Amino acid sequence: MTDAALFVHRYGDSAGAPVVLLHGVTGHGARWRRTAEGHLAGRRVIAPDLRGHGRSPYEPPWTADRHVADVLAMLDVEGVERADVVGHSFGGMIALHLARTAPERVRRLVLLDPAIGLDPAFAGREARGYLAPVSFADAAEARAFRAARWPKASPGLLDEEVEAHLEPLPDGRLRWRFEPAAIVGAYSEMARPHVPPPVDVPAHLVIATQSDLVRPEFVVDCRATLGPGLTISEIESGHMLYVDRLAETGALLNSWLDGPVDAR
Neighbours of 135 (CB within 10 A): 16
pTM above 0.75, yes or no: yes
**How much is the pLDDT for 3?**
59
| Cα–Cα distance, 5 to 233 (Å, whole number) | 34
Could you read off the pLDDT tens digit of each residue along the chain, which spans 264 residues? 345 799 999 999 999 999 999 999 999 999 999 999 999 999 999 999 999 999 999 999 999 999 999 999 999 999 999 999 999 999 999 999 999 999 999 999 999 999 999 999 999 999 999 998 899 999 999 999 999 999 999 999 999 999 999 999 999 999 999 999 999 999 999 999 999 999 999 999 999 999 999 999 999 999 999 999 999 999 999 999 999 999 999 999 999 999 876 644
- Nearest 5°: the CA angle 223, 95, 60 is 135
| Cα–Cα distance, 49 to 55 (Å, whole number) | 7
Residues ≥6 apart with Cβ < 8 Å to 37: 11, 12
Residues ≥6 apart with Cβ < 8 Å to 231: 202, 203, 204, 205, 256
**How much is the pLDDT for 262?**
61
Buried (b) or exposed (e) across 166-184, using 16+ Cβ within 10 A? beeeeeeebbbbbbbebbb
Amino acid at 128: R
Q: Which domains does the chain have, with CATH numbers?
A: 8-118+192-258 (3.40.50.1820)
**How much is the pLDDT for 2?**
43
CA 38 to chain centre: 18
**How much is the pLDDT for 1?**
31
Which burial class, exposed, middle or buried, applies to 261 when counting CB atoms under 10 A from its CB (0-12, 13-18, 19+)? exposed
